[in-house]
């Protein structure tokens, strides 16, 4: 299915000023360009997980993976970002002379820019099927390594699991994160919790500190010493939207990049008294090789833009309102969502394949 939607950009200025010339060393943009290229290099799906695992995976405590004989997946949390925006601004000042009076006046100019990117309303049934498939794949892989996987129903029936009340969210959970509006999905029948506070906004982060899920996880392990726990986190992202950190820049970089976020996609195994007993982290973005969008030429009118805003609002009930005042269309895209769903699944399976390939080397 192909649909077209608009995104926005806003640029503002408060006054005119004479700016002091400033030269940026040529090495700076070159380094930024190389960093951007590295972050957007596509994963080679034809080569497979084993051939690329060392490039993408960071391990810690991996030697202990061979000690695991029994395990419960306590959290399987897949975040799908759906709307992102960022703004940036800077001030500059200078002197201007009134030619009639000869009086010089100091002026200050504020430069600002704001951009956003958003997806059409996501199909919850499709997201659920994707998560269920990747969860079944992981469970099968663990069992194939000789690990007993305790069912979620068995875990949920343990008295210690009741301590998680107040931390759990029903799936799907639609919320605002640190830098996006997102949908968190767990396997069918499972609840989830915000395990990675790097994705939390300020309020969620403060709440997470008080709820202290690590303590609750340890209570389960202390009562079942032969059982390890696993928390899975992945962030399926569709764009990078961030303020340019270059000196004196007020630009916002917004690029469509379908990827799994580095560092925020991880496996965390918990052992007795060890909340980070074994970890596998994605150390660079896992980027799709199949763009699911196509940019529409600027002269073409943006169609169904209102549906984007209304559809996303209907989905979450609290998406950020897109202001109409002082805005212009920055980019307009058509989206092939079938490709998005299919390649997102492929990326999730590829990540799990790389993690388990690396960890499997430590099994006896």
Higher-pLDDT residue of 60 and 9 is 60
Cα torsion for 299, 303, 308, 309, to the nearest 10°?
80
302 has a pLDDT exceeding 60:
no
φ, ψ at 245 (rounded to 5°): -90, 5
Q: Confidence class of residue 248 from pLDDT cuts 50, 70 and 90?
A: low
Give me the mean pLDDT over the 254-260 stretch: 93
Task: For residues 10 and 325, give the distance between their C-alpha atoms in angstroms, rounded to a whole number.
Answer: 9
Q: Confidence class of residue 261 from pLDDT cuts 50, 70 and 90?
A: very high
Both tokens assigned to 81:
């970002």
Higher-pLDDT residue of 249 and 166 is 166
20 has a pLDDT exceeding 60:
no
With b for 16 or more beta-carbon neighbours within 10 A and e for fewer, the 176-204 pattern comes to bbebbbbbbbbbeebbbbbbbeebbbeeb
Contact 59, 279 (CB under 8 A): yes
Residues 6+ positions from 10 with CB-CB distance below 8 Å = 87, 112, 113, 114, 115, 323, 326, 327, 328
Q: Confidence class of residue 203 from pLDDT cuts 50, 70 and 90?
A: low
Give me the mean pLDDT over the 360-364 stretch: 92
Q: What is the pLDDT of residue 236?
A: 98
Per residue in 53-106, pLDDT (tens digit) is 999 999 999 999 999 999 999 999 999 999 998 766 666 677 777 778 878 777
Q: What is the pLDDT of residue 217?
A: 93
Q: What is the pLDDT of residue 23?
A: 42
Best CA proximity match to 178, nearest among 207, 211, 208, 204: 204
Q: What is the pLDDT of residue 89?
A: 64
Is there a cis peptide before residue 119, judged by omega within 30 degrees of 0? no
Chain mean pLDDT for the chain: 80
Of 145-159, 217-231, 238-252, 324-338, the range with the lowest mean pLDDT is 324-338
Give me the mean pLDDT over the 285-296 stretch: 95
Q: What is the pTM of this model?
A: 0.78
- Indicate the DSSP class of residue 120: P
| % of residues, the chain, pLDDT over 70 | 72
Task: For residues 236 and 62, give the distance between their C-alpha atoms in angstroms, rounded to a whole number.
Answer: 25
Give me the mean pLDDT over the 156-162 stretch: 96
Of 2-11, 115-124, 256-265, the range with the lowest mean pLDDT is 2-11
Q: What is the pLDDT of residue 14?
A: 34
With b for 16 or more beta-carbon neighbours within 10 A and e for fewer, the 17-35 pattern comes to beeeeeeeeeeeeeeeeee
Per residue in 269-288, pLDDT (tens digit) is 999 999 999 999 999 999 99
């Amino acid at each position: 299915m192909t649909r077209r939607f608009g995104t926005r950009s806003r640029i503002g200025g408060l006054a005119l000023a004479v700016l002091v010339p400033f030269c940026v060393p040529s090495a700076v943009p070159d380094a930024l360009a190389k960093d951007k290229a590295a972050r957007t290099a596509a994963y080679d799906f034809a080569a497979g997980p084993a051939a690329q695992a060392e490039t993408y995976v960071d391990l810690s405590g991996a030697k202990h993976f061979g000690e695991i004989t029994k395990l419960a997946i306590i959290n399987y949390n897949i975040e799908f970002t759906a709307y992102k925006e960022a703004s940036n601004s800077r001030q500059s000042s200078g002197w201007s002379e009134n030619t009639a009076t000869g009086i010089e006046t100091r002026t200050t100019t504020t430069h600002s820019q704001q951009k956003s990117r958003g997806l059409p309303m996501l199909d919850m049934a499709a997201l659920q099927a994707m998560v269920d498939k990747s969860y079944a794949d992981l469970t099968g892989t663990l069992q194939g390594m000789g690990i007993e996987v305790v069912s979620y129903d068995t875990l949920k029936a343990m008295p210690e699991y009741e301590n998680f009340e107040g931390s759990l969210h029903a799936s799907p959970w639609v919320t605002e994160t640190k830098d996006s509006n997102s949908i968190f999905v767990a396997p069918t029948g499972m609840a989830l919790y915000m395990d990675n506070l790097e994705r939390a906004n300020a309020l969620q982060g403060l709440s997470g500190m008080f709820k202290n899920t690590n303590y609750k996880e340890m209570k389960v392990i202390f009562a079942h010493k032969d059982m390890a726990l696993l928390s899975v986190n992945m962030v399926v992202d569709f764009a990078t939207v961030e303020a340019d950190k270059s000196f004196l820049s007020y630009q916002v970089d917004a690029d469509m990049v379908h990827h799994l976020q580095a560092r925020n996609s991880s496996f965390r195994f918990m052992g007795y008294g060890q909340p980070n007993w074994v970890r596998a982290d994605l150390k660079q973005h896992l980027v799709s090789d199949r763009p699911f969008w196509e940019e529409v030429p600027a002269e073409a009118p943006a169609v169904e833009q209102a549906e984007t805003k209304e559809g996303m609002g209907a989905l979450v009930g609290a998406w950020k309102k897109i202001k109409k005042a002082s805005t212009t269309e920055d980019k307009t895209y058509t989206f092939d969502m079938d490709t998005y769903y299919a390649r997102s699944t492929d990326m999730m399976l590829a990540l799990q394949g790389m993690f388990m390939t690396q960890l499997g080397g430590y099994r006896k």
